[in-house]
Amino acid sequence: AQSVSQHNHHVILSEAASLELGCNYSYGGTVNLFWYVQYPGQHLQLLLKYFSGDPLVKGIKGFEAEFIKSKFSFNLRKPSVQWSDTAEYFCAVIGASKIIFGSGTRLSIRP
């Protein structure tokens, strides 16, 4: 069955620190991957997506993610976080007919 694992439930960083959030997927078919973000009190928004081609995908707000097929991973990165990046981040994979989400990682930024 398709699944997504996010092992970091809560990450706390200081402003300007670098960020990497882990995501591992399990899916036997063609892999299409997403990162979504949910800011406090707001709806889910698409950060970036991978379908094919360059495994390094750039998204909005300075985020990027790297698809590593051999490791079944799609980690999210940002070189320097800001307080406004405080949010919940969800990795997701397209299954047979719908998107399957991980359990999310809560990111807290210390000013």
Partner 1 sequence: DTGVSQDPRHKITKRGQNVTFRCDPISEHNRLYWYRQTLGQGPEFLTYFQNEAQLEKSRLLSDRFSAERPKGSFSTLEIQRTEQGDSAMYLCASSPGQIYGYTFGSGTRLTVV
| Sequence-ordered list of residues with C-beta below 8 angstroms from that of 78, at least 6 positions apart, any chain | 18, 19, 61, 62, 63, 64, 85
Q: How far is the CB of 29 from partner 1 (least distance, A)?
A: 12
Q: Which is nearer to partner 1, 51 or 83 (CB)?
A: 51
The SS3 of residue 96 is coil
Q: Which residues bind partner 1 (CB under 8 A)?
A: 4, 6, 9, 32, 34, 42-46, 49, 51, 90, 92, 94, 97-104
The SS3 of residue 5 is strand
The SS3 of residue 67 is strand
Q: Which is nearer to partner 1, 2 or 17 (CB)?
A: 2
Q: Which is nearer to partner 1, 91 or 109 (CB)?
A: 91
